Amino acid sequence: MSKEEDELKEIFGSIPTNTKASFCDNGDYHYMNIPWSQKGRGFGEYCFYVGEDRRILIDNECDPREAIKEVMDDLVDNHPDEVKAMFHQMIDLCKLTSEKNV
């Protein structure tokens, strides 16, 4: 392993695992923002949002399903009530959007 690879491994190995979520509603856009970090992997951000077809979609930075599942598992394990409330808000927005378009 090169010196640069060793340095990167040391940096990413020292990043703490942390996941948090926030719900954003600015009138036109409704989304749940999830910044995350994982020891040995790095950091990033996922965004769940209500699409034009009223489905809940995710901007996942092209991460594979298993990586997203790990982040979401950590989020649900550490903040279950907050996550439940945020997804209920997303579902309610889907219903409201559906009713507006009828």
Helices (H) and strands (E) counted in the chain, each on its own, are: 3, 5
Per-residue pLDDT of the chain (102 residues; tens, 9 = 90+): 788 877 767 776 666 667 677 777 666 667 888 888 888 788 888 888 877 777 788 888 888 989 888 888 888 888 888 888 888 887 777 765 544 443
Please report, for residues 27, 30, 61, the alpha-carbon distance to residue 22 in angstroms, rounded to integers and kept in the order given: 16, 11, 18
Q: Confirm whether pTM is higher than 0.75.
A: no
Q: Specify whether the CB–CB gap between 55 and 94 falls below 8 A.
A: yes
